[in-house]
Amino acid sequence: MNTEPPTLGRLFHFINQTHLIMSTLLYPSPIFGPVRSRRLGISLGINLMPADGKICTFDCIYCECGLNADFRPKSRRPEREEVARELEQRLRYMRDTEGCVPDVLTFAGNGEPTVHPDFAAIIDDTIRLRNMYCPQAKVSVLSNATRAHLPEVKKALLKVDNNILKLDTVDPRYIQLVDRPVGSYDIGKIIETICQYEGKCIIQTLFMKGECGGVSVDNTGDEYVTPWLEALSKIAPQQVMIYTIDRETPLSGLCKATPEELDNIAQRVKALGLAVSVSY
């Protein structure tokens, strides 16, 4: 009997070949919702990816939209003009017919929004429409920071109210196992990039437990939390959002972190002098 610990290569084979896929969620495009966000309030979503699949620079094993290979899109991404047109129609309808407007306009959906070739221009369109129809609403972008170093992306992200960048851990092995970047990924360079935002960012981190292919994915212990806190000290973000799994995941065996674990981590973030929110 082979008792050798699984290598990353064997784990990737396990993920790609073993069909433990549970129910997942793809979002309409380019506009969806509004939905109630645990962290942001009443959110009108802006999905810059196709409605029938994923385009993402991460392939997280916990992603509610499923694994990249299982949801390859057949349709195109929405064009800039389409996004602006449909966003304006929805905002006008909400204001004039429903008598309400969203708390936040959130770039999220079926993948990494910053990969859209017109991302920066779409941000400008969105801010203009926000100012016209719901000036009190915040513009938020949920990004994994893989393209945050690009000048045009950085310029756009610095314009939004909530520049939310993912940082689940600073451990390279954990990142390869759980976040599974597509292409090269250097966590040291990512942290350097985020530091260049000079605090104009919100760090979003998912904590969970369980295992993948017989390997623990529990990132709630000191082994992962202490180095992550050190990175937060360097980044000095305006806020830290910590949360756990809320919906079904593509792979079985993943579990929610407990409220007590999240609260303990939050207290350690507060001890750094940083604002923190917790979603259970």
Query: Does the pTM of the predicted model rise above 0.85?
Result: yes
pLDDT tens across the length of the chain (280 residues): 333 333 444 343 333 433 344 557 899 999 999 988 766 788 999 999 999 999 999 999 999 999 999 889 999 999 999 999 999 999 999 999 999 999 999 999 999 999 999 999 999 999 999 999 999 999 999 999 999 999 999 999 999 999 999 999 999 999 999 999 999 999 999 999 999 999 999 999 999 999 998 999 999 999 999 999 999 999 999 999 999 998 889 998 999 999 999 999 999 999 999 999 999 9
Distance CA 113, CA 160 (A): 13
Q: Coil, helix or strand for 133? A: helix
End-to-end CA distance of the chain: 40
Strand partners, 37: 41
139 closest CA partner among 92, 103, 85: 103
Domains belonging to the chain, first-starting first, are 18-270 (3.20.20.70)
**What's the token pair of residue 209?**
């437990």
pLDDT for position 36? 82
How many CA atoms within 13 Å lie on the side-chain side of 207? 26
